[in-house]
Structure 1
């Protein structure tokens, strides 16, 4: 029986799994150091109290149980070493997992440049436990603020560094949440400030100008201070020091200035990678050295058939994960492999509350409540079948 291992239970890994389970005569093992699949784009809703922990996670144990496959298992393990010649995976828990085919889907992590002193103390909301810690710290400070408002009214200042999608969305959600919080309670000490710092000449570099304009107008209406053409140089003594020669005080620093590949890619030391550590794959999602090792989602440098590098997002995770799953099954059945030619469906940006902006297939620009409803529909269309599976898996577990 052929053994397939997926490392990483994120979007790309789940889509690969959904293809692989179509073959009932193979053994599939999903490995992740976490017990849950983090629905990362929705974590901002969690921070802004629009959802709870259960809304932004999918339990991997019950998910795997929910699939109708007798040879599928989830292992909550931390990978330490991969021996691609012996086809063995070594884990921190001393368990060895063998494979015939391997799909790398471990994703990325926030990149904290060592050249910026003090940045190691910044908040990293890409990791769910860090996002929850940030949420708790922020709410604790709000409580202290209103508790002491008659005596003093100290500033609360959130500095968001990086004005790409993540930075813009977290700044917008936090500003909207804070504004509603103070309005609802009619608190006098409502001097929360949010600054968004972009090293580029605008926010959302690389996106269409109309999306940039809509987003910038919305951020300003939420009271967010946008600082462009400026880099963070160091974080020290409650201040952020900027490249324009100024310093601004901060209560929290949220860093969204870039990502790098999971450290696990270093274990495949003889495959081609780019300068961010992403594994370079061919049109079949295979590594250059091993046709039985695939890389998908954010951990891979994925190009379309024109040779253009695709941005790391959920759409590309879906397409690449699905393609790798199909091609593993094709290899097992000795069928021709299918080329992956990813295309972006568009982009949708959450901008606080029930407001969003989006570009649909490069044809239509939408904004406001309509864009928000489209974004929620896309999310629910992904989550709904997974919820069905984990309910089925949970029912199976309760029988034992």
Structure 2
């Protein structure tokens, strides 16, 4: 990669869906010719599309087949990968501060330092918001990262092995799974778990009777599941989950999470050895009021229509970590994968205009609908009809194909059309020889 002292320094913090897509496309467009020096700062080594985490947690997907190595991606697409985590900002000097990184033995990998920028794009995504619920941080597992999803899966398999090997009977709650939050992540996880836990048991754990011993409970504070999606989708998903035997507790708030289960606001206890927290999101805490930038109550950076932060035109924010106004609505753009993808595409054009000295353009979010995958059981959702202005309810095979197409769009942005097609065909061939569920 050729660089010059006059190259425009673009620093992107966060390698999630929005940040990695943008770094890849900017590197392809300007990294090779030296017009821009593109750097991606990310604390992880590999990338996995966040909507796939529930499948990793359930054990129905091998993360290794879908992970992307940041260092290799940077080499192939002409940007620089900087392993580290942003922990401060100096707007006057146009620098971000990076924390030191350590390995598992406590040895330093990279020292603390600073990195200069001409344009800064913050795309650090969101983290789980447990609303300060006592015991949640200690006893509930969030699904923010592939490592957390894999940790839950190991605990799930271990719980089944333990129950099958113990001398006494399986105690109440020992194989119960409580999922706090019945949004898309919670409902998709519940459906995947219904199948994969039974698949684990079927491999010879004959002391466990799924209908008697395994219980999956969705706990939701709102009056219905999937409260952010259209009611018709909620009703269809409720019907399918009920047929599976998944229990739903709506209008139910959690007061505490304990090692033995979940304490509800009414004082009742839901026994559960495994608890997943998926009830809310917020931007990372380090963003709260960082160097005077405007943030909202969940730490999101407030941006204008151009995606520039309200108090510094050299700093942009995209994806879940930004509060972006939405035309014709009092609510901001929702923290969804399709919004992150659209913001990354728009930001590519914004950088082009910046480099050319042209005025920036407003970001306009287009809602293409909502899809919820229930694994092999079904997929339901709605697609927006832009000619009529109405949504079209879809279900079954067509909905499943549309759901998968969202991931293919992400892969295409990272690898290109031809490589994505080859990967898809290879996956179809290799999946026939794979086990039904991950057992380790």
Residue correspondences, number? 388
* Cα shift at 1:245: 3.3
Residues 355-394 of structure 1: pairs in structure 2 closer than 5 A: 355-361=378-384, 363-384=391-412, 386-387=414-415
The secondary structure found in structure 2 opposite 1:294 is strand
The secondary structure found in structure 1 opposite 2:245 is coil
Q: Distance in 2 between matches of 1:235 and 1:186?
A: 29
The secondary structure found in structure 2 opposite 1:163 is coil
Instruction: Say whether the 8 Å CA contact 1:82–1:267 is kept in structure 2.
Output: no
Change (3 A) 1:151 1:114: closer
The structure 2 residue matched to 1:177, chosen from 171, 196, 201, is: 196
Q: Does 1:30 align with 2:48?
A: no
The secondary structure found in structure 2 opposite 1:97 is strand
The structure 1 residue matched to 2:317, chosen from 295, 300, 303, is: 295
Residues 1-400 of structure 1: pairs in structure 2 closer than 5 A: 1-21=7-27, 22-23=29-30, 24=33, 25-67=35-77, 69=78, 72-92=79-99, 93-148=111-166, 151-154=168-171, 155-182=174-201, 185=204, 187-189=206-208, 190=210, 191-266=213-288, 268-307=290-329, 308-361=331-384, 363-384=391-412, 386-387=414-415
The secondary structure found in structure 2 opposite 1:245 is coil
Instruction: Say whether the 8 Å CA contact 1:354–1:372 is kept in structure 2.
Output: no
Q: Distance in 1 between matches of 2:76 and 2:267?
A: 56
Q: Distance in 1 between matches of 2:412 and 2:310?
A: 36
Q: Distance in 1 between matches of 2:393 and 2:57?
A: 27
Deviation track 1:221-264 (CA, whole Å, cap 9, x = no partner) reads 12111011110011235131112332111111111111110233
Instruction: Say whether the 8 Å CA contact 2:21–2:413 is kept in structure 1.
Output: no
Change (3 A) 1:239 1:186: closer
Deviation track 1:304-335 (CA, whole Å, cap 9, x = no partner) reads 22244121011110111222232122112111
Instruction: Say whether the 8 Å CA contact 2:21–2:414 is kept in structure 1.
Output: no
* Cα shift at 1:184: 6.2
The secondary structure found in structure 1 opposite 2:334 is coil
CA RMSD of aligned residues (A): 2.3
Change (3 A) 1:387 1:97: same
Structure 1: any 5+ residue segments left out of the alignment? 393-400
Structure 2: any 5+ residue segments left out of the alignment? 1-6, 100-110, 385-389, 421-440
Change (3 A) 1:26 1:185: same
Q: Distance in 2 between matches of 1:147 and 1:355?
A: 34
* Cα shift at 1:90: 1.8
Instruction: Say whether the 8 Å CA contact 2:191–2:374 is kept in structure 1.
Output: yes
Specify the alignment match of 2:425 in structure 1.
none
Q: Distance in 2 between matches of 1:203 and 1:41?
A: 18
Change (3 A) 1:282 1:237: closer
The secondary structure found in structure 2 opposite 1:30 is strand
Specify the alignment match of 1:395 in structure 2.
none
Higher-RCO chain (CA-CA 8 Å, sequence separation at least 6) = 1
